[in-house]
Amino acid sequence: MSGQARPKIGLPPLPRLNEDTRFYIDFEWWEQSGLDLKAYLSSRLPISGDVPLDLEADLIDVVDMKTGEVRRVDGFQYVLQTSIKSMPVDRIQQAALVDAVFYILLGNANQPMSARELGERVQRSADVILKTFGGRNIFQGIRPVPED
């Protein structure tokens, strides 16, 4: 054996997270994973069979009721948002943590939410949210919002 020290190969350090750290679904992760998001959601979402998941319209105009801004969104995404928003709260809270947070973010149009907000919605502590989604493993594309 030689007396030379072995090079240390490490991953970049994880950012410091706290209860105010915001999370979102990174749809690029889904694209890079090779998984089909629509197929995954169609098979996993606890929504009734009368919800059309095979929309012909690619884009739908949606009006933001707070700002009056009109945005074009994917028709499938719109159906998901409205379906999830109408789900009973206890149904989301009874889902596995990763699924529950995924549903909450989808229902919120993937607008970033803090660990505290997510924890309140799924009836778990912000610490559990941070430990689950703040590490190196990425679950369903849920990541902390990158710092500027």
Tally of structural domains, the chain = 1
pLDDT confidence bin for 61, thresholds 50/70/90: confident
Q: Is residue 93 part of a domain?
A: yes
* 106-111 contacts at long range (C-beta below 8 A, 24 or more positions apart): 106/25, 106/77, 106/80, 106/81, 107/80, 107/81, 108/81, 109/73, 109/77, 109/81, 110/24, 110/25, 110/27, 111/24
- For residue 89, count other CB atoms closer than 10 A to its CB: 10
Q: Is residue 46 part of a domain?
A: yes
Q: Is residue 129 part of a domain?
A: yes
- Separation of alpha carbons 63 and 70, rounded Å: 4
Q: Is residue 134 part of a domain?
A: yes
Give me 10's structure tokens. Answer: 């490490």
Reported residue count of the chain is: 148
pLDDT confidence bin for 47, thresholds 50/70/90: low
- Separation of alpha carbons 7 and 22, rounded Å: 35
Kindly report the pTM of this predicted structure.
Answer: 0.75
Q: Is residue 108 part of a domain?
A: yes
Q: Is residue 136 part of a domain?
A: yes
Question: If you average pLDDT over every residue of the chain, what do you get?
Answer: 81
